[in-house]
Chain A
Amino acid sequence: MPSLDRKLLRDLVSLWGQILAIVLIVACGIASLVTMMSTYESLTLSMDAYYSQYRFADVFVQVRRAPNAVVSQIEAIPGVGQVRSRVVVDVTLDVPGLADPASGRLVSIPEEPQTMLNDVVLRAGRYIEPGRRDEVLVSEAFAAANRLKLGDTVGAVINGRWELLRLVGTALSPEYVYEISGTELLPDNQRFGVMWIGREALANAFDLDGAFNDLALSLTPGASEAEVIFRLDQILERFGGLGAYGRNEQLSHRFLSDDIAALQVTALILPVIFLGIAAFLLNLVLARLVSTQRDQIAVLKAFGYTNGEVGLHFFKLVLVVVLLGAAVGIGLGRWLGGGLTQFYTQFYQFPVIEYRASLGLILGAVGVSAIAAFVGALNAVWGVVVLPPAEAIRPEPPASFQPTLVERLGLQRFFSPAGRIILRNLERRPWQAALSIFGISLAVAILIVGRYQNDGIQQIMAIQFRTIQREDLTLVFNEPRSGRVQYDLAHLPGVLYVEPFRAVPARLRFEHRTRLSGVTGLVPNSQLRQLLDRHLQKVPLPPGGVVLSTKLADLLGVEVGDVLTLEILEGGRPIREVPMVGRVDELLGLTAYMDVQALNALLQEGSAFSGAYLSVDAQQLPELYKTLKQTPAIASVSQRETALRQFQNTIATTSGVFNGVLLVFACIISVGVVYNSARIALSERSRELATLRIIGFTQAEIAFILLGEQGLLTLTAVPVGWGLGYALSQWLNQSPAHNTEMFRVPFVIQPSSYLFTLVVIAIAALLSGGLLARQLQHLDLIAVLKTRE
């Protein structure tokens, strides 16, 4: 090994604490990049492979009842590839061992297996047998959540009749990667599941012989989706078409693609922070190394080492840091990425999910880190290169000090000599101090970002599930019922209060923008559903118009006072001009509200209700459930508490894990920054400190001088970090990842969160201080004074 490399190795060993800190920070940067991007890649690849292998459709539409003959008409639309018409019905299920009623979505499949759009992946058991009307394939997740075995039966209310369905196989479909019914945000595999059943049987039972009520189609390459949707809607209009939509409005796909997009956003932030800090610390350490080794560099040059050779020598140190960081970071990133990908399978069901971190990604991550590190090292190493050899042999001129701002203001009498030393040092290196502050503040900032997500989610739970939604149960009827239903429901066991509602599917149109959305008609002064603005103030619901959620209004570009077009996709399918009369700030989904009587008037129907919100006595819930399960008129029952619990278990847990990871990251950053700056201060000033010790300063006093400076920097960094974290959270809050049509994270950061970050950073700083105080004890007074500076 060349002697110069040997020197490098020994330098590395003697700087190991500082090098380790930087290696860890680089590793975190690489790890976070690899984690996010490999998960992103894995999910995208799994999704694409799944979609193409099982022919996920491009356009979807629900319709009331269309004769099969229409299919050939649809096939003739230019740009349409394959078409699959189906019967799809939601029913109430009675699952053995589950007290509350579950909902099942029955999707028709051909009696014989055949390749088709939105194909099913048979996971266990067998395909249904022709002619066996009671045989179904059941979603794998639903079977698992309810511990159902092949051969088990599940009770279902099918068109008013109680029937038993026999599970002969478990299956998956690209249509239900995210298996939700549409009323909730998170899969509740116990209470909602898809079942595939023979078409004959299903069509028979629901009076859809020779007809379909759901259709999916694929587009030929280059076809215009909008064009096809337009033609499709035209054809289906007279059969009660509910408006066709593309993949990006398909529920399962939308959640999946939103999540994948969010990964990409996060994949950006953390690595940038880490690599930025790594660059800064490398700069700090190298600059110090170069200045302590001025004379060594001069000797190398005097003996004929070229600038390139000497510069390379220092760059090799950077290279070692990057390679070590990469080794740790790639390992960690692959491990975390595998875990994260696995974590997503909790929500998303893929037949195979192959975790992979591509070579390109890994090389990219290492490349980016190397660039960051070299940029950080550049000016320090440049200093070496331009140092004239003769100059370098002369000792570095003593640092020049000047009276600090504090002294110029005449405030020095308030500071002890030690305090003055601290202030002068900080003022002498304003840039270094500023960068230290910036580095620590980034640690604070990422903690704040984590807390913001957490606080936002708590807020969603509090506002959506407690303030806005106040019902215990939501019932949906299989068809609109008259006003009398309110009294019927009130007489059921345990029902305390009933508030019926009317929900109709509709297409909202303003200028050239349209959105499919339900319109919900509420009773005046609804007690169980609060309409609130962003300040949580009640929004009135005047009979004359429609109140939109902020997100929906923004998507349509309407303001209060604008008149929009409402195309009702039910009954007589009236098209009406309605003014927007208010705006509510709901956090989940896209919603539009009207006064129920106004809505019914619009529909030209008498008082009709499609569901009801219920307040119930928890004691009598089991009995109520038993009754509801047996009531054919009830299509689905959902419980607010269950939804809330579901939300808490998954999202809140996730956010907890995420916060834990950020916590570790933030600690590594702050320890890395504080330890490195303090360690460098110690090496720069060991002479001065030793001198102070010799003239009688105590150990504690010199520790104060050294660590007080870092403490001051840390304290300054905290509010800066709060500000940065606030800005970063706000940016994230505005980003598509946190502001989807499904889900808006409110922008709240609780005071306790600020306090939390302060505590974490203080602990991290004390830890680094502790490490350093130990080294201070070993300050060799004699040796320090003997060495030439």
Chain B
Amino acid sequence: MVNQSSPNLQTHPKAYANLPPVIFHVREMTKTYTMGEVQVHALQSINLDLFEGEFVVLLGPSGSGKSTLLNILGGLDIPSSGQVFFRQQDLTQANDRTLTRFRRESVGFIFQFYNLIPSLTARENVALVTDIAHRPMTPEAALELVNLSDRLDHFPSQLSGGQQQRVAIARAIAKRPEVLLCDEPTGALDFSTGKIVLDALAKVNAELGTTVVVITHNAGIAAMGDRVITMRDGQIHTLQQNQHRASTNELDW
């Protein structure tokens, strides 16, 4: 569903004059879960624009709504109210088929627990995605990008956590998605392994120009993003632009 006259984009053309095109446009978005009698307001009036090629870090305590926001951006879930646009496409009104196509064509996901298919090798896990993508890279090329060329035929159980997460990254980028959404990708990893994973993400962002959103509760990681969004109680608490993007070597946590 393409909305031709996305109002906010037209009324504020100057505001974006020097910036790259907007890729996600979120206005007054809320998400409420109803569990029996109780209503959980996971997100409340979120306003946010994300730009092409940006590296965004999403910080915040557990339960603050980070995953919910990321899931909605990735088309895994729909908001309760408000608007979410992916480029010209209205995700608010999209039905399941449209969302599925959106995810299939445009989004790469990375999860905290890697979520690899245990019965498939590294190469096959990546192939799972390239099988259905438009103009994917080969699984081998994707794994090369995350420096795993020597582990092509290993099963997840034969890989370390960091390696598994890198397979997950390869799987996410193999289709050349426009956005890469990562929910605590280093959450289950130790410091040095986490760095290798973040390196891979930075590399994808730099080399392929993919927009990357990374959730973490590790403030230390924030320095590597273009922008840092802090969430609290389902709202955006702060939104900060980094003057200088730190390389992963400079990170510490």
Interface residues of A, Cβ cutoff 8 Å to B: 2-4, 6-7, 10-11, 14, 295-296, 298-307, 309, 388-390, 393, 788
For B128, the chain A residues whose CB sits under 8 A away are: 3-4, 7, 300, 303
Question: With an 8 A cutoff between CB atoms, is B119 at the interface?
Answer: yes
Question: With an 8 A cutoff between CB atoms, is B52 at the interface?
Answer: no
On whether the beta carbons of B113 and A7 are closer than 8 Å, the reply is no
On whether the beta carbons of A304 and B100 are closer than 8 Å, the reply is yes
Residue B103 contacts which of A3, A7, A296, A302 (CB distance < 8 angstroms)? A302
Task: Tell me which residues from 54 to 83 in chain B have a Cβ below 8 Å from any Cβ of chain A.
Answer: 71, 74, 76-77
User: A303 to B175, alpha carbons, bound, how many Å?
Assistant: 10
Task: Tell me which residues from 95 to 122 in chain B have a Cβ below 8 Å from any Cβ of chain A.
Answer: 96-97, 100-105, 107-109, 111, 113, 115-120
Question: With an 8 A cutoff between CB atoms, is B251 at the interface?
Answer: no
- 5 A-B pairs within 8 Å (CB atoms) are namely A2-B131, A7-B124, A295-B115, A299-B109, A389-B77
Candidate in B77, B117, B127, B171 with the most chain A CB atoms within 10 angstroms: B117
Interface string of B33-60 (1 = CB under 8 A from A): 0000000000000000000000000000
- Taking CB as reference atom, which chain B residue is nearest A12? B119
User: A228 to B107, alpha carbons, bound, how many Å?
Assistant: 84
Shortest CB distance B37–A (Å): 17
For A305, the chain B residues whose CB sits under 8 A away are: 100, 104, 132
Shortest CB distance A320–B (Å): 15
Shortest CB distance A557–B (Å): 65
Shortest CB distance A261–B (Å): 51
User: A11 to B118, alpha carbons, bound, how many Å?
Assistant: 10
User: A788 to B113, alpha carbons, bound, how many Å?
Assistant: 9
On whether the beta carbons of A296 and B117 are closer than 8 Å, the reply is yes
Interface residues of B, Cβ cutoff 8 Å to A: 71, 74, 76-77, 96-97, 100-105, 107-109, 111, 113, 115-120, 124-125, 127-129, 131-132, 171-172, 175
On whether the beta carbons of B115 and A299 are closer than 8 Å, the reply is yes
User: A155 to B58, alpha carbons, bound, how many Å?
Assistant: 110
On whether the beta carbons of B124 and A6 are closer than 8 Å, the reply is yes
On whether the beta carbons of A304 and B101 are closer than 8 Å, the reply is yes
Residue A14 contacts which of B116, B119, B175 (CB distance < 8 angstroms)? B119
On whether the beta carbons of B131 and A4 are closer than 8 Å, the reply is yes
Candidate in B103, B107, B108, B113 with the most chain A CB atoms within 10 angstroms: B103
Residue A393 contacts which of B97, B111, B117 (CB distance < 8 angstroms)? B111
For B74, the chain A residues whose CB sits under 8 A away are: 302
For B71, the chain A residues whose CB sits under 8 A away are: 390, 393
Across chains A and B, the number of contacting residue pairs, with CB separation under 8 Å, is 83
For A14, the chain B residues whose CB sits under 8 A away are: 119
User: A11 to B119, alpha carbons, bound, how many Å?
Assistant: 7
- Taking CB as reference atom, which chain A residue is nearest B157? A783
On whether the beta carbons of A3 and B101 are closer than 8 Å, the reply is no
**Apart from the given pairs A10-B120, A299-B115, 9 other A-B contacts in the complex at a CB distance below 8 Å:** A3-B125, A3-B127, A295-B115, A298-B115, A303-B171, A304-B104, A305-B100, A307-B96, A389-B77
User: A299 to B120, alpha carbons, bound, how many Å?
Assistant: 13
Known contacts A302-B74, A304-B105, A389-B76, A295 near B120 by CB under 8 Å? no
On whether the beta carbons of B113 and A295 are closer than 8 Å, the reply is yes
Shortest CB distance B141–A (Å): 16
For A300, the chain B residues whose CB sits under 8 A away are: 128
For B175, the chain A residues whose CB sits under 8 A away are: 303
User: A306 to B132, alpha carbons, bound, how many Å?
Assistant: 10
User: A116 to B105, alpha carbons, bound, how many Å?
Assistant: 80
Shortest CB distance A659–B (Å): 43
For A306, the chain B residues whose CB sits under 8 A away are: 97, 100, 104
- Taking CB as reference atom, which chain A residue is nearest B139? A3
User: A388 to B33, alpha carbons, bound, how many Å?
Assistant: 14
Shortest CB distance A308–B (Å): 10
For A299, the chain B residues whose CB sits under 8 A away are: 109, 111, 115-117
List 8 A-B pairs, minimum CB-CB distance, nearest first: A304-B104, A10-B119, A390-B76, A390-B77, A304-B103, A3-B128, A3-B127, A390-B71
For A295, the chain B residues whose CB sits under 8 A away are: 113, 115
User: A306 to B111, alpha carbons, bound, how many Å?
Assistant: 20
For B100, the chain A residues whose CB sits under 8 A away are: 301, 304-307
- Taking CB as reference atom, which chain A residue is nearest B100? A306
For A303, the chain B residues whose CB sits under 8 A away are: 103-104, 108-109, 128-129, 132, 171-172, 175
For A10, the chain B residues whose CB sits under 8 A away are: 119-120
User: A301 to B96, alpha carbons, bound, how many Å?
Assistant: 11
On whether the beta carbons of B77 and A6 are closer than 8 Å, the reply is no
For A302, the chain B residues whose CB sits under 8 A away are: 74, 76, 103, 107, 109
Shortest CB distance A785–B (Å): 15
Shortest CB distance B78–A (Å): 9
User: A253 to B189, alpha carbons, bound, how many Å?
Assistant: 81
For B97, the chain A residues whose CB sits under 8 A away are: 306
For B172, the chain A residues whose CB sits under 8 A away are: 303
Shortest CB distance A687–B (Å): 16
Shortest CB distance B10–A (Å): 30
User: A299 to B175, alpha carbons, bound, how many Å?
Assistant: 15
User: A36 to B25, alpha carbons, bound, how many Å?
Assistant: 67
Shortest CB distance B221–A (Å): 21
User: A7 to B128, alpha carbons, bound, how many Å?
Assistant: 9
User: A299 to B125, alpha carbons, bound, how many Å?
Assistant: 11
Candidate in B104, B108, B128, B129 with the most chain A CB atoms within 10 angstroms: B128
- Taking CB as reference atom, which chain A residue is nearest B129? A303
User: A393 to B112, alpha carbons, bound, how many Å?
Assistant: 10
- Taking CB as reference atom, which chain A residue is nearest B155? A10
For B105, the chain A residues whose CB sits under 8 A away are: 304
User: A304 to B120, alpha carbons, bound, how many Å?
Assistant: 18
For B171, the chain A residues whose CB sits under 8 A away are: 303
- Taking CB as reference atom, which chain A residue is nearest B70? A390
- Taking CB as reference atom, which chain B residue is nearest A394? B67
For B117, the chain A residues whose CB sits under 8 A away are: 7, 296, 299
Shortest CB distance B95–A (Å): 12
Shortest CB distance A787–B (Å): 9
Shortest CB distance B171–A (Å): 8
Shortest CB distance B100–A (Å): 5
For A788, the chain B residues whose CB sits under 8 A away are: 113
For B132, the chain A residues whose CB sits under 8 A away are: 303-305, 309
User: A296 to B168, alpha carbons, bound, how many Å?
Assistant: 12
User: A228 to B77, alpha carbons, bound, how many Å?
Assistant: 80
User: A300 to B127, alpha carbons, bound, how many Å?
Assistant: 12
For A296, the chain B residues whose CB sits under 8 A away are: 115, 117-118
User: A296 to B127, alpha carbons, bound, how many Å?
Assistant: 15
For A304, the chain B residues whose CB sits under 8 A away are: 100-105, 107, 129, 132
- Taking CB as reference atom, which chain B residue is nearest A14? B119
User: A79 to B111, alpha carbons, bound, how many Å?
Assistant: 85
For B124, the chain A residues whose CB sits under 8 A away are: 3, 6-7
Known contacts A303-B128, A304-B132, A7 near B119 by CB under 8 Å? yes
For A7, the chain B residues whose CB sits under 8 A away are: 117, 119-120, 124, 128
On whether the beta carbons of A393 and B115 are closer than 8 Å, the reply is yes
User: A298 to B116, alpha carbons, bound, how many Å?
Assistant: 11
User: A247 to B125, alpha carbons, bound, how many Å?
Assistant: 70
User: A390 to B96, alpha carbons, bound, how many Å?
Assistant: 12
For A388, the chain B residues whose CB sits under 8 A away are: 76-77
For B104, the chain A residues whose CB sits under 8 A away are: 303-306
For B116, the chain A residues whose CB sits under 8 A away are: 299
- Taking CB as reference atom, which chain B residue is nearest A4? B128
User: A301 to B128, alpha carbons, bound, how many Å?
Assistant: 11
- Taking CB as reference atom, which chain A residue is nearest B183? A393
Shortest CB distance B102–A (Å): 8
For A389, the chain B residues whose CB sits under 8 A away are: 76-77, 103
User: A389 to B100, alpha carbons, bound, how many Å?
Assistant: 10
User: A14 to B119, alpha carbons, bound, how many Å?
Assistant: 9
